[in-house]
Structure 1
Amino acid sequence: MSLPTAPARSVSRPRRSAPRGLALAQLVNSVGDGAFYVTSALYFSRVVGLTPGRIGLGLTLAWAVGAVAGVPLGHLADRRGPRGATVALAAATSLSVAGLLLVRSYAAFLLVVLAYAIAQCGLAAARQSLLAGLVEPGARTGVLARLQAAGNAGIAVGAGIGAVALHLDTSAAYLCVLGVDALAFAGCAVLLGRLPAVEAGGGSGGGERRSATVLRDRPFALVTFLNTVMLLRMPLISLALPLWIAEHTAAPGWSVSALLVLNTGAVMLFQVRTAAGVTGLPGAVRAVRSGGVLMLASCAVFAVSGGLAAWAALVVLVAGAVLLVWGEMRQSAGAWQIAFDLAPAGRQGQYQGFFGVGVPVARMVGPVLLTTLVIGGGVTGWLVLGGLFLAAGAAMGPAVRRAERRTVGNAPRSTGNPGKTVLEE
């Protein structure tokens, strides 16, 4: 699919409605994501006829390739214009989901989920580049917080749609869910196409040199690695904690759903407020550091939930979940600001694509690592995991200072106080 070149016009004063347009697009495609997440495994097993092992292997391979593809697709967004790239990649995601309707063999499954993962990872990078062009630097983290809240709301609605399909448990119901997801991404493409165009920032020459820039930026790679470690919180709430509750605590089974609802609801209600004070690199580093402390505290609280009476275990688990989501929101806000501020001008797409690799890597590595630590290691495993969060958060400051020395003078600053950087903190 060819990408239209953006007109040679900078959007120095983007429309006030651009953040609302981005949030609406996020809400729409998240409805499809939520429905897909809760039903895809059963669709692949009961309708397509695949074993759980083959499904897991295929998805792992697909997300691994998608993670790698995010960098060149982000670079393409820089070179050709982020609005055109986001529209094309949202449309490609819609087509790939529609392709799942026709999958009836493992080979077809691999091809389609590979296309889906590549389009999704590329869309994430291109959308970040588009946001950077449409939103003033000091407002980007706040806008991302609103997008996160909108995304969680959409996922909650989509999960409700998926729950209906799970209740019906028929091929037609699962196919309808895939149709909803495909239509949601098509709608997302339409909404993104209505946003103002942003001038392509990659320049006209030195394409090979520019495309490899982020891959040679070792300080930024270290920042990305530390962020990936902290993103292990994702499979913690969705996989490791439910298994811990089921196997090591006396808490009622419904507590798993309750904690997931608490996490989603807290992000919807408080992510924007939590991110409001993060306007520059110094504040971003403090936010990530405090996120590491809070996630260590949550792990320590979860660790003592085993062996308690049912009601006591539930109270302790809720306390740990509150600490975890608070740390999650602090870490997310800081990470967004850091990723934007350390990316050189005109290269947001490839840098955001590289930084975004942390999400699929955490999803691939996290389940094995966390189940080994938490389920196999018990209290000690929880404390080791919390120590990883704490260490990654503490190391982010020195890593960002090193990366800032590399990019100072070349990257735009998103700080609320332009005269102060992390180097002066």
Structure 2
Amino acid sequence: MTRALIRKFAVSPSAAGLLAVGLVDAVGSGLYLAGGALFFTMVVGLSTAQVGIGLSVAGVLGILGPIPFGQLADRYSPRPVLVFLHLCCAAGFAAYVLVDDFVSFLVVAGLLGLAEQAARPMVQAILEQVVGAEHRNRMAAKLRVVHNVGYTLGALLAALALHVGTRQSFFTIMVGNAASFVLAAALLLLLRIQPHTRLTRTPAGTTTRKRLPALRDRWYMAAAGINALLLLHMTLLSVGVPLWIATSTHAPDSLIAALLVVNTVLAVLLQLRAARGTEKVTAGAVAMRNAGLALALCCLCFASAAYLDSTLSVVSILLGGTVLLTWGELLQSAGQWSLSFGLAPMHSRVEYLATFHLGSSVQTAVGPALVTVGVIAHGWAGWAVLAAVFVLAGLMAQPLASRAARRPQLIGTSPEEIYGSTDSSRFGPRPQGVQH
């Protein structure tokens, strides 16, 4: 089994370096996610409401960061921009040690929200530079597996710090996360990647480059919107399911942690399988459709748990819902990688990726309110509406991707990049001007 896992992760030195960057980053993030909230309440002395407000502000401000930094990455290169953002994150998390009131917390959290959200599309762009278009989905799946392992390691380290329980041990959580960003930035500088092609001219057939082209590209934005709806699974797992189990079912509260472990383990074991064969837009759209169906079924499972009295039946249905949620999560991730890359023109690659990522930022900002007020508070009806949203989003993925694949912005893009072969019959005619 170990040898099979090693063969699956056989990568070039540059790809291995990128995985090392991801592991270091994820360990630091796991450290912070497991202990950050307690640091803010027990050490800084903030109320839970103040912590929630501050992190919500960070989520809202995070919407502003990706596009301008994406434009910088297109003009110069994603790597120096990502190194700069990592160093900003390092400074921000180190600054949390000095925070002593709500105002200073709000300032640091807001600046970190900008930097953290802007960094994620840069990782996507660098990944493509390292492994090329043909292998980026499989590499992204490997990176996601490494992230899950890193989060788990970071959480275990945080558990040690929380067990000690001193002020200094809490400080190590923030300082450790800051150090992980510094180390990740150093490893990025050592990566050998393909030279970046600077944005020096507009695409063929145009005379001037429009300002914010990705935001003006309605079909690309529509695909990003579908992805944002499916991304509600993130809040569902972290907020919706725990609250639903605790307030509306007969399941023991300890089951919440167990289901999170199940989600993490399945994500590590199945991510490569879920991403297999989804490199092209056509396959990515199918993955998005299937993700919507799996997420809808998980909603029905969770809703049903409130009407069961037997502990065994409640645990079984919640476990089944978690498995479906995890499979939907993995398919959505694979589809997101395919559509965000395959529908993005090369002349503004990183800006388009950053724009696609806005869905994640918006979901981070408004997802908790939608899930708690819109779903949990309305019981079965709320779950049914969310299931319908997932189904509709999944079913719309293929026609929207079909239309987006034929828009003029993709002139000059290889048909294999979109369709997987020179036969584009499934999605209709190619953009006029695309060469075989």
Identity %: 33
**Are 2:88 and 1:92 aligned?**
yes
**Are 2:319 and 1:318 aligned?**
yes
**Are 2:233 and 1:233 aligned?**
yes
Q: Which moved more, 1:253-262 or 1:78-87?
A: 78-87
Which of 31, 56, 59 pairs up with 2:55?
59
Q: Is the 8 A contact 1:303 1:382 kept in 2?
A: yes
State the 1:166 CA deviation. 2.6
State the 1:211 CA deviation. 5.2
Q: Is the 8 A contact 2:14 2:192 kept in 1?
A: yes
CA distance in 1 between partners of 2:105 and 2:249 (Å): 38
Q: Is the 8 A contact 2:135 2:279 kept in 1?
A: yes
Which of 184, 187, 191 pairs up with 1:188?
184
CA distance in 2 between partners of 1:113 and 1:123 (Å): 15
Which of 101, 106, 110 pairs up with 2:106?
110
- Report SS of the residue matched to 1:101: helix
- Report SS of the residue matched to 1:148: helix
Which of 125, 132, 138 pairs up with 1:129?
125
CA distance in 2 between partners of 1:377 and 1:106 (Å): 33
Q: Is the 8 A contact 1:244 1:374 kept in 2?
A: no
Match of 2:410 in 1: 408
State the 1:61 CA deviation. 1.6
Match of 2:427 in 1: 423
User: Letter of the aligned partner of 1:420 in structure 2?
Assistant: D
Q: Is the 8 A contact 1:342 1:411 kept in 2?
A: no
User: Letter of the aligned partner of 2:300 in structure 1?
Assistant: A
Change (3 A) 1:420 1:187: farther
State the 1:348 CA deviation. 2.0
The number of equivalent residue pairs is 411
State the 1:210 CA deviation. 5.7
**Are 2:78 and 1:82 aligned?**
yes
CA distance in 2 between partners of 1:124 and 1:156 (Å): 20
State the 1:197 CA deviation. 4.2
- Report SS of the residue matched to 2:306: coil
**Are 2:243 and 1:243 aligned?**
yes
CA distance in 1 between partners of 2:418 and 2:219 (Å): 20
User: Letter of the aligned partner of 2:427 in structure 1?
Assistant: L
CA distance in 1 between partners of 2:186 and 2:253 (Å): 41
Q: Is the 8 A contact 1:145 1:272 kept in 2?
A: yes
Pairing of 1:193-212 with structure 2 (within 5 A): 193-204=189-200, 209=209, 212=212
- Report SS of the residue matched to 2:100: coil
State the 1:102 CA deviation. 1.3
Match of 1:329 in 2: 330
Pairing of 1:37-76 with structure 2 (within 5 A): 37-76=33-72
State the 1:202 CA deviation. 4.0
Change (3 A) 1:416 1:223: closer
Q: Is the 8 A contact 2:281 2:419 kept in 1?
A: no
User: Letter of the aligned partner of 2:420 in structure 1?
Assistant: N
CA distance in 2 between partners of 1:143 and 1:405 (Å): 27
TM-score of the pair, normalised by structure 1:
0.92
Q: Which string of whole-angstrom CA distances, capped at 9 and with x for unpartnered residues, describes residues 121-148 of structure 1?
A: 2211212111122222121111111111
CA distance in 1 between partners of 2:213 and 2:423 (Å): 26
State the 1:416 CA deviation. 7.2
CA distance in 1 between partners of 2:297 and 2:169 (Å): 42
Q: Is the 8 A contact 1:249 1:310 kept in 2?
A: no
Q: Which string of whole-angstrom CA distances, capped at 9 and with x for unpartnered residues, describes residues 90-141 of structure 1?
A: 1221121111111113232222222211211221121211112222212111
State the 1:205 CA deviation. 5.8
CA distance in 1 between partners of 2:177 and 2:413 (Å): 37
CA distance in 2 between partners of 1:59 and 1:331 (Å): 25
Match of 2:146 in 1: 150
User: Letter of the aligned partner of 2:48 in structure 1?
Assistant: P
TM-score of the pair, normalised by structure 2:
0.90
State the 1:30 CA deviation. 0.5
Pairing of 1:244-263 with structure 2 (within 5 A): 244-263=244-263
**Are 2:376 and 1:353 aligned?**
no
**Are 2:242 and 1:214 aligned?**
no
Match of 1:34 in 2: 30
CA distance in 2 between partners of 1:264 and 1:110 (Å): 31
Match of 2:205 in 1: none
State the 1:424 CA deviation. 4.1
State the 1:18 CA deviation. 2.2
- Report SS of the residue matched to 2:65: helix
Q: Is the 8 A contact 1:83 1:198 kept in 2?
A: no
CA distance in 1 between partners of 2:236 and 2:401 (Å): 26
User: Letter of the aligned partner of 1:354 in structure 2?
Assistant: T
Unaligned stretches of 5+ in structure 1? Answer: 1-14
Give the structure, 1 or 2, with the largest relative contact order (CA under 8 Å, sep 6 or more). 1
Match of 1:172 in 2: 168
Q: Which string of whole-angstrom CA distances, capped at 9 and with x for unpartnered residues, describes residues 27-67 of structure 1?
A: 11100101101211121122222222222222212221222
**Are 2:268 and 1:268 aligned?**
yes
Cα RMSD for the two superposed structures? 2.0
Q: Which moved more, 1:129-138 or 1:176-185?
A: 129-138
**Are 2:390 and 1:393 aligned?**
no
Q: Which string of whole-angstrom CA distances, capped at 9 and with x for unpartnered residues, describes residues 369-421 of structure 1?
A: 11123322212211111111111111111211222222332445535723134
Match of 2:297 in 1: 297
Q: Is the 8 A contact 1:263 1:321 kept in 2?
A: yes
Q: Is the 8 A contact 2:282 2:419 kept in 1?
A: no
Q: Which moved more, 1:371-380 or 1:94-103?
A: 371-380
